[in-house]
């Protein structure tokens, strides 16, 4: 199996090959900066408001129940519309989709940053999610058309994977710093210079991809979007209420019916929204399922660890954010080592080792109690998790994109990111339910009884990912 996307080539007037499309200009570093900054901005915004929520609630008058929708509306719009966004990018060109999405995201961030009331902020967060869903699927596809096969593309994928793994944790660090030093409004306003810089860089250093012609799968787009939105909403609802909640059960039923209809449509249309042949490859299918499980554990860990730091260790938002550097810095270091590990051991064995470390770290975290502090309770587990995820993410990206035709790259990328966000929603909803059950059925009824149960369940998600990856076929080291 090839470990890279097949890259379209062009020819000059004499018929000589020009190499991969995407060689616009001689600064590939700036092209990668535009792509990676886009991915980072969207991932950071999934968690950046976590530590700012108490300040936002006081300023804008949010109740504790309504406050959760500041997080959930972004996830709901982003996760629900990613599949549609990937196909729109194929139709209008991926660079155009990325720039349009980034500019819309920047405008929505401005609206959020100056929001005078709660309704305004919730609308802006929804708009951010819609814009992110348009641009995000183009990121990986543009790496394929901007970097030639071999060392350059492996390095680009390594950096992209490290950002994908660390973006959510970086959001916690950045959110805490901005809230303490300036104001909660800056967790949104910081996107303005970043978004404008991306919109300036992308047209200058990224080539446009060919537009796909032919009929648009309108019915598939409708069913897929409604189905994914219903599924994400159902997970969010269970986290807020319970698994027996009527609305949650209705949303799950609607999601099953809509996604079933979506699959039926995709099997018979000429240009499907999701290219189902992507799942014909065993390693790709395993990697997609593994990509679902990793954030299912990680997002829940972030959710409860943030509460533990601020409520029980009495950390300020800034200090709580800095605490996650114990995960973020090892993750970046391991990500830089990941290409060499892949070349020596292959993507399967490297990912298995990373997932084993991640599972061990989360299990260690489940042992925190009232006598634990940061150094003896959190530091070691966070370091292990950072190294584990850093080793794993590039391997999954490689397995998912191996041998994908250029015309299918947007669909493959959109599915990858859909798995991440649906996995995050799944994880938080399951772990909140497990936390509540642990709290109710324990003798002490303490926060630590709940987190012990929740972190054990999170380790279960990682263990499932480890088992899935063990079932993948080995890839030769020379790949």
- All structural domains of the chain with their residue ranges: 27-214+271-470, 215-270
> Which of 40-44, 328-332, 387-391 has the largest mean confidence?
387-391
Does residue 357 surpass a pLDDT of 90?
yes
Provide mean pLDDT across the span 329-345.
Answer: 87
- What's CA 424's distance to the chain center, in Å? 8
Q: Minimal CA–CA distance to 346: which of 478, 157, 160, 165?
A: 478
pTM: 0.78
Report which of 97, 98, 125, 122 is spatially closest to residue 109, judged by C-alpha positions.
125
Report the pLDDT value the prediction gives residue 479, as an integer from 0 to 100.
40
- How many CB atoms within 10 Å of residue 476? 8
- Which has the higher per-residue pLDDT, 165 or 434? 434
Query: Quick one: which H or E segment has residue 245?
Result: none
Predicted local confidence at residue 288, as pLDDT: 93
Question: Between 146 and 42, whose confidence is greater?
Answer: 42
Give yes or no for a contact between 34 and 17, defined as CB atoms under 8 angstroms apart.
Answer: no
What are the tens digits of pLDDT across the range 440-471? 777 777 888 888 999 999 999 999 999 999 98
What is the length of the chain? 479
**Which own/partner pairs from 198-202 qualify as long-range (CB within 8 Å, at least 24 positions apart)?**
198/34, 198/37, 198/38, 198/41, 198/98, 198/99, 198/102, 199/99, 199/102, 199/103, 199/106, 201/30, 201/31, 201/33, 201/34, 202/34, 202/95, 202/98, 202/99, 202/102
Rounded Cα distance between 273 and 220, Å, is 6
Residue pLDDT, tens place only, 150-168: 677 778 877 887 777 677 7
Residues 22-33: what's their mean pLDDT?
Answer: 69
pLDDT band of 170, cuts 50, 70, 90: confident
Percentage of the chain beyond pLDDT 90 is 29
Which SS3 state, helix, strand or coil, does residue 1 take?
Answer: coil
The fraction of the chain above a pLDDT of 70, given in percent, is 91
User: For 346-446, where are the alpha helices, taking DSSP H only?
Assistant: 347-365, 380-401, 409-441
Return the minimum-mean-pLDDT range out of 40-44, 63-67, 360-364. Answer: 63-67
In angstroms, the Cα distances linking 293 to 139, 238, 278, 467 are 22, 18, 19, 11
Q: What tokens appear for 269 in the block?
A: 């249309």
Which pLDDT belongs to residue 11?
A: 40
Beta bridge partner(s), residue 17: 11
27-214+271-470 carries CATH number 1.20.1250.20: yes
Sequence-distant (≥ 6) Cβ neighbours of residue 69 within 8 angstroms? 122, 125
336 or 264, which is more confident?
A: 264
| Residues in a beta bridge with 19 | 10
């Amino acid at each position: 199996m090839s470990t890279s996307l097949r890259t379209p080539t062009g020819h000059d007037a004499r018929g000589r090959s020009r190499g991969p499309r995407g060689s616009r200009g001689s600064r590939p570093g700036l092209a990668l900066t535009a792509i990676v900054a886009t991915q980072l901005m969207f991932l950071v915004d999934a968690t950046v408001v976590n530590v700012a929520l108490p300040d936002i609630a006081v300023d804008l008058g949010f109740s504790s129940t309504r406050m959760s929708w500041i997080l959930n509306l972004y996830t709901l719009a982003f996760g629900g519309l990613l599949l549609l966004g990937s196909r729109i990018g194929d139709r209008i060109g991926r660079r155009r989709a990325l720039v349009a999405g980034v500019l819309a995201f920047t405008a929505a961030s401005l609206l959020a940053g100056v929001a005078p009331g709660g309704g305004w902020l919730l609308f802006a967060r929804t708009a951010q999610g819609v814009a992110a869903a348009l641009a995000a699927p183009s990121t990986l596809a543009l790496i394929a058309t901007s970097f030639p096969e071999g060392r350059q593309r492996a390095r680009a994928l390594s950096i992209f994977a490290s950002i994908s793994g660390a973006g959510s944790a970086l959001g916690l660090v950045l959110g805490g710093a901005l809230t303490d030093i300036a104001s909660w409004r800056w967790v949104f306003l910081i996107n303005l210079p970043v978004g404008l810089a991306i919109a300036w860089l992308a047209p200058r250093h990224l080539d446009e991809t060919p537009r796909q012609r032919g009929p648009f799968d309108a019915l598939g787009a409708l069913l897929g979007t409604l189905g994914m939105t219903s599924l994400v909403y159902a997970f969010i609802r269970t986290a807020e209420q319970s698994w027996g909640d009527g609305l949650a059960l209705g949303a799950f039923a609607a999601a099953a019916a809509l996604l079933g209809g979506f699959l039926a449509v995709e099997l018979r249309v000429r240009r499907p929204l999701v290219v189902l042949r992507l799942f014909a490859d065993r390693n790709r299918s395993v990697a997609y399922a593994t990509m679902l499980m990793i954030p299912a554990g990680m997002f829940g860990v972030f959710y409860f660890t943030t509460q533990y730091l601020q409520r029980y260790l009495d950390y300020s938002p800034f200090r709580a954010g800095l605490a996650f550097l114990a995960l973020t810095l090892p993750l970046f270091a391991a990500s830089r080592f990941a290409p060499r590990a892949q070349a020596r051991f292959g993507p399967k064995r490297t990912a298995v080792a990373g997932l084993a470390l991640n599972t061990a770290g989360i299990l260690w975290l489940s042992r925190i109690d009232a006598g634990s502090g940061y150094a003896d309770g959190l530091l070691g587990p966070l370091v292990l998790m950072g190294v584990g995820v850093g080793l794993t993410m590039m391997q999954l990206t490689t397995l998912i994109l191996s041998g994908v035709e250029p015309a299918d790259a947007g669909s493959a990328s959109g599915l990858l990111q859909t798995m991440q966000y649906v996995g995050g929603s799944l994880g938080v909803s399951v772990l909140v339910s497990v936390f509540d059950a642990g709290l109710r059925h324990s003798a002490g009824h303490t926060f630590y009884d709940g987190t012990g149960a929740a972190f054990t369940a999170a380790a279960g998600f990682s263990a499932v990912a480890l088992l899935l990856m063990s079932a993948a076929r080995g890839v030769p080291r020379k790949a």
